[in-house]
Amino acid sequence: MTTASKLKRAVSGWCGIGAVILSLGCLGLWLVSVVVQPAKPVEMSFDALGLNVAASASEGSVMVGWVVTLRLLIPALVFGLVAVLCIWYWIRTPSDQAGHRPRFTIRALLTFTLLVAMALGWRTSVRDARQQIALQTVQLRYAEEELRRARDDLKDRDRPKQPNSRNFWEAEFDGAYLRDVTISSPGNAFQRASLKNCDLKSATLEADTSAFQLARFDGSNLADAKLTGGGASFQCATFVGCDLTDSVLDGGGSSFQRSSFENATLHRARLAGSFQAVNISGAHFEGADLSAVERGALQSCHFKEPPTYDAQTQFPADFDPAANLWRRIAN
């Protein structure tokens, strides 16, 4: 055996060992990147300083960073494996034998299958990582907005109440039975009003510019109700846990900004307004008409739990709910 043949065999052996090591490394990294998914954020509660929110967001961001780092290493190792295998097959092909042709072996088939499987697995992992990053980004925005809301509520709670001539200013109707009632008030009525846990089924509340700002409807029955305001109305209003089935919510320009519909039921509801930076976490929009809401406004909404929709939900043109991480409910 000549020196060249010995060197060729030695290099071939080391390339074979390197190919095995790289294959196991790629497979291990892919398994880790698939199994170690970003953990769901810890249940968020908001204290005066917002420390819990900061901890939850930080934990999710660090986990996403590790997973993305692992998944970005996989293609580099795959390319390295392909290069090593190419060198190995080239060296293993005897050039000193007349009429020799490379043969298709089971080993080559298994190697090719492994490469294809790793490539497909890497592609799936990257897609999942991007989706997780998008979801974590929306959830982080949710945490920031809810922290800001909590701080504003603390400031508002400590603010001394002062008399005001505006209609229903800081009015308290908590728990009131107002079914089928109609209240029409000109101007900026119902600012800072509290209508929590009220029965407002089939009620009609009408006002004008800047109406319903900082109003609280949490837990109320607003099924088949109609709430109408002008420009800048319903800003920072809350409808947490409300039943808004078949209701109509109509505001002018800059309305519903930073409002909250968390865990609200809006089946077949009709909404019109700006809806910028709105909390729609866990809201149910099955059959709702959102076509009058701007696409960019819906994209600015945030949530911890994805809002739901179905085939009957109407969206503005060019808005893709699935791409914005909404969850579709089968009819």
For 243-284, what is each residue's pLDDT tens digit? 999 999 999 888 999 999 999 999 999 999 989 999 999 999
- pLDDT over 90 (residue 321): yes
Q: How sure is the predictor about 150, in pLDDT bands with cuts at 50, 70 and 90?
A: confident
What integer pLDDT is reported at residue 18 of this predicted model?
61
Residues 309-313: contacts with CB within 8 Å, 24+ apart? Answer: 309/285, 310/286, 312/268, 312/286, 312/287, 313/285, 313/286, 313/287, 313/288, 313/289
| Residue range 179-214, pLDDT digits in tens | 999 999 888 899 999 999 999 999 999 999 999 999
| Residue 216 DSSP SS3 | strand
Calculate helix-pair angle for 51-92, 3-35, nearest 10 degrees: 160
Question: Which residue is associated with the tokens 């809201």?
Answer: 283
Q: For residue 101, what pLDDT is reported? A: 53
Q: Which fold has domain 162-331?
A: Pectate Lyase C-like (2.160.20)
Q: Is residue 42 predicted with pLDDT exceeding 50?
A: no
> For the chain, what is the mean pLDDT?
77
pLDDT tens digits, residue range 285-308? 999 999 999 899 999 998 989 999
* pLDDT of 322: 92
Confidence of residue 53 (pLDDT cuts 50, 70, 90): very low
Say what the pLDDT of residue 21 is. Answer: 64
Mean of pLDDT values over 304-329 = 93
Residue 50 has a pLDDT of: 38
**Inter-CA distances, 246 with 86, 133, 328, Å:** 65, 35, 19
Q: State residue 54's pLDDT score.
A: 38
Neighbours of 109 (CB within 10 A): 10
Element (H, E) at 128: helix 106-158
User: When comparing pLDDT for 63 and 98, which is higher?
Assistant: 98
Domain boundaries, the chain: 3-95+103-158, 162-331
Backbone angles phi, psi at 24, to 5 degrees: -65, -40
Using pLDDT thresholds of 50, 70 and 90, give the confidence band for residue 328.
very high
Which band of pLDDT confidence, cut at 50, 70 and 90, is reported for residue 61?
Answer: very low
- The residue behind tokens 């065999």 is 9
Q: What mean pLDDT do residues 98-122 have? A: 64
Q: State the pairing for strand pair 327-328/248-250.
A: unpaired
For the ranges 43-52, 70-79, 145-154, 227-236, the lowest mean pLDDT is seen at: 43-52
For residues 216 and 214, give the distance between their C-alpha atoms in angstroms, rounded to a whole number.
7
Percent of the chain having pLDDT more than 70? Answer: 62
Confidence of residue 86 (pLDDT cuts 50, 70, 90): low
In 10 A of CB 171, how many CB atoms? Answer: 15
